[in-house]
Structure 1
Amino acid sequence: MTLLEPGVDPATLDTSAWGGRHAHDPTAVRDDDGTYWLFSTDAFSEGPVRAGVQVRRSTDLVTWQFHGWALPGVPSDGAAWTGAEGLWAPEVVRVGDEWRMYWSASTFGSRTSAIGLAVAPHPSGPWEDRGLVVTSRHDADGPNAIDANVVVDDDRHWLVYGSFFGGIHVLELDPATGGALDSPGPGQPAWGPGWLVARRPRSVEGAIEGAFVLPRPGGGWALVVSYDSLFSTYHVRVGVSASVTGPYVDRAGRDLRDLDADPATVGTPVLAGHRFAGGRTWLAPGHASVLTDGDVQLLVHHVRDGDDPTQHEVQVRRLVWTDDGWPLVSPQPWAGPTESTDESAWPSDVADLVGTWEVVTFEQTATSGVTASHVVEVTAAGLAGVRALGSGRFVGAWLPAGPERAPLHAVVFPSWDAVRDRAALSFTATDDTGRTVFGTRTA
């Protein structure tokens, strides 16, 4: 990321062709008129850019128009605490008639960081600074105060935050003000840290960030979080818990705070770098948020162009839940209003699984770089023992060979094949070891 140099006029920066490009660490909301608003880090891969949180808008979550910046720059208290020249990873939530934006201020490689709050009557602004919520110091052990996510659990509000260094923590908020519950006064920050819910060992540089917690169907919570290198091996894993404050475990029952296990085996991978034959190479997807829009949930994340990793853009994918309550994501980018949101009409017959599928498998120990797709043929004879549970949910061993032959908890749904530019069935599935598979039927 390069920030605006002194003396450069922000008005000279041509954003007309940005669209969804340069959107990093994105979060999306929908206003009462049905317009979607995207907020993201002050990042631009090709030159100088001003600070203040980038804002985009869309009517379909596919085509984005750059709207401007939420703030005139880094708020003074955030700049004074951190020396930051730009803002990172904004989180925007609605509480009553007020929209709240939690921004992060920091510098690369430093734990001297701050999360602040701004409020507005509408996602388009105007945004008013309300001071700091939580801070951290590089020379003090504990979490890094960046990457905010707000969780509402009945009448209690929580801030999920943190990154490398001390891991992911949860801090309680005051629902009335949006500040930390134990803040010494309005606009004054708490010194955390709250509850530790996820952490990785120093052997992998503690590489974990960009957490997002959402409710599970039927109760409990799911933690969506990004692992590894931002520029190459970035990927998304999940864990679940009965409580917002943890503990969170993966499908194999491993605690996401486990520092003794092989760090490549903790957490269930749901999205990593991949390529379908004839399509673009998607590299390092991550820092995801989840937009709940009526009956559909969507994973909103950034991703890099495998042919030019300096280029990043926003991408939206359907998020679905298995029969036993695990969040998984579509192999295909969201295509907008043409997508089916009526789950009752999704495949409900085992025979619907027959066909030729192009599949990508995310092994827990093989999420580095890019995984290429491979073709599998699913026959009626190979579906013995597979059970259809309705609304696209299936359980059983239905992929034909290799480690993928293990019993899968799968969700099958209509999608838009971005490579062939046509409607197609897709699926996403996981097994009890934590391996994840997704793919699209091509014939």
Structure 2
Amino acid sequence: MRWRGEQALSHLIQTSYRNPIILEAWPDPAVAGPDRDGLYWCYATDDEKDPPPRRRFKVARSRDLVHWETHPEGARHGAFPRPIPNYSCHRGCWAPDVRQLQPDAWNFYGALEFDDHEDEGPNGHGIIAARSSGPIGFADPVVLRRGTGFTVIDPCFFHSTTLEQNFLYWGSGHAPIWGQELAADGLSLVPGTEPRAVLAPTPGDTEDRLWEGLFVFEHPEDRHVILLASKVDTWVGPYRTYAFRGGAHPLDRVAGSEARLLLGENAVWNRCGNVFVLPDAVGQLWLFYHAVRGDAVIPGTEGIEMMGRRGVPLRQACMDRLLFDTSGLPYVEHGVPSSDVRPGPIVWAP
């Protein structure tokens, strides 16, 4: 028996699911929880490709990781209920990463296209960090880093249980993916530390020209570092996710040639990537990601020409069980998104 606050939890529920788990556009999903009320929370990108109203990152909630209520009460305007400084002209809230570090300490990381954005020079996209006592209501964000164009995007928080240190990763815009140590509270970079290139594209190689959407976690048994990253073409495809075994230190460099395919495309799903990993109530790991079903586009964008096609691809939130082989690397059954009904996460009964 486990206790949530003052409520005794005496049994578990086996869910079932079928992709997608969120029907509307829900790119770059990040999942956190459960909170004190037993709710899981899923956050996503909000940008100019979405229909109105604009939101400061999308928010959904669920009791079972399968059935999601999008834009719930208290989050109609997104994860940040009030305007974010220097963010009003553009609509570009990208790739959130949210972590429940303590029951009453939730950290939010995300990339923004600021009002003073410039494509060239140091004031391109940047990464913010903020804290809240719960899964919504984030405020007073600090800017951790900015860079040229969109080279400073796709933040990923990682806590090393071996070193008892926090790290932030970001990138890329055809630049390397970088990592740097974070302070104990995760809200600032450690003074005196410098970013280190963790994964870099290969110039001139069309199959290795872009890595993005890094997610870093530890193997559940021996705690070795695992990196997941997506490439090559976000909008046109192919777009796939790969797994790497990390080095002795979380900022050790890995090579693209060491990657192993984790999640590919099939006849149903394409452009699969920007992943996030979360355990269920019994420790099974689940891979959350976005994917496009066939030629589906965001409703209302059919008149927009994009990359030689009509309409903006509809990136929906999906999930599948994350398993491990004898070498310690993760894999997904059949290496592609599932389309049938499957056993889902095991969660506590409300």
Interval containing the TM-score (normalised by the shorter chain)? 0.7 to 0.9
Aligned counterparts of 2:317 and 2:175: Cα–Cα separation in 1: 27
The structure that has the greater radius of gyration is 1
**Structure 2 residue 302 is the aligned partner of structure 1 residue 315:** no
Q: Which residue of 1 aligns with 2:9?
A: none
Q: Which residue of 1 aligns with 2:230?
A: 226
- How far off its partner does 1:24 sit? 0.5
Q: Name the SS for the 1:202 alignment partner.
A: coil
Aligned counterparts of 2:241 and 2:118: Cα–Cα separation in 1: 21
What TM-score comes out, normalization by structure 1 length?
0.60
Distance 1:221 1:335, change over 3 A: farther
Structure having greater relative contact order (Cα 8 Å, sep ≥ 6): 2
- Mapping for residues 82-97 of structure 1, pairs under 5 Å: 84-96=90-102, 97=104
Amino acid at match of 2:196: W
- How far off its partner does 1:228 sit? 0.8
Alpha carbons 2:109, 2:155 under 8 Å: kept = yes
Distance 1:153 1:50, change over 3 A: same
Q: Name the SS for the 2:251 alignment partner.
A: coil
Q: Which residue of 2 aligns with 1:53?
A: 57
Aligned counterparts of 1:311 and 1:59: Cα–Cα separation in 2: 25
Amino acid at match of 2:130: A
- How far off its partner does 1:333 sit? 5.9
Alpha carbons 2:107, 2:186 under 8 Å: kept = no
**Structure 2 residue 285 is the aligned partner of structure 1 residue 297:** yes
- Mapping for residues 126-165 of structure 1, pairs under 5 Å: 126-138=137-149, 144-154=151-161, 155-165=164-174
- How far off its partner does 1:118 sit? 1.7
- How far off its partner does 1:59 sit? 2.0
Q: Which residue of 2 aligns with 1:202?
A: 203
- How far off its partner does 1:47 sit? 3.1
Alpha carbons 1:74, 1:86 under 8 Å: kept = no
Alpha carbons 1:115, 1:133 under 8 Å: kept = yes
Q: Which residue of 2 aligns with 1:431?
A: none
Aligned counterparts of 2:61 and 2:345: Cα–Cα separation in 1: 22
- How far off its partner does 1:44 sit? 7.3
**Structure 2 residue 189 is the aligned partner of structure 1 residue 180:** yes
From 167, 170, 175, the counterpart of 2:179: 170
Distance 1:102 1:211, change over 3 A: same
Alpha carbons 1:226, 1:236 under 8 Å: kept = yes
Distance 1:213 1:307, change over 3 A: same
Q: Name the SS for the 1:91 alignment partner.
A: strand
Amino acid at match of 1:201: T
Distance 1:297 1:335, change over 3 A: farther
Deviation track 1:204-243 (CA, whole Å, cap 9, x = no partner) reads 3831100000112313211000001112211101111232
Alpha carbons 1:43, 1:49 under 8 Å: kept = no
What TM-score comes out, normalization by structure 2 length?
0.74
Q: Please tell me the root mean square deviation across aligned C-alpha atoms, in Å.
A: 2.7
Alpha carbons 1:317, 1:333 under 8 Å: kept = no
Amino acid at match of 1:94: Q
- Mapping for residues 9-408 of structure 1, pairs under 5 Å: 19-30=22-33, 31-43=35-47, 47-66=51-70, 67=72, 68=76, 69-72=78-81, 75-77=84-86, 79=87, 84-96=90-102, 97-106=104-113, 112-123=124-135, 125-138=136-149, 144-154=151-161, 155-176=164-185, 178-182=187-191, 194-203=195-204, 204=206, 206-216=209-219, 217-231=221-235, 232-241=237-246, 242-248=248-254, 255-256=255-256, 267-275=259-267, 281-293=268-280, 294-309=282-297, 310-331=313-334, 332=338, 338-339=343-344
- How far off its partner does 1:86 sit? 2.4
Aligned counterparts of 1:93 and 1:313: Cα–Cα separation in 2: 21
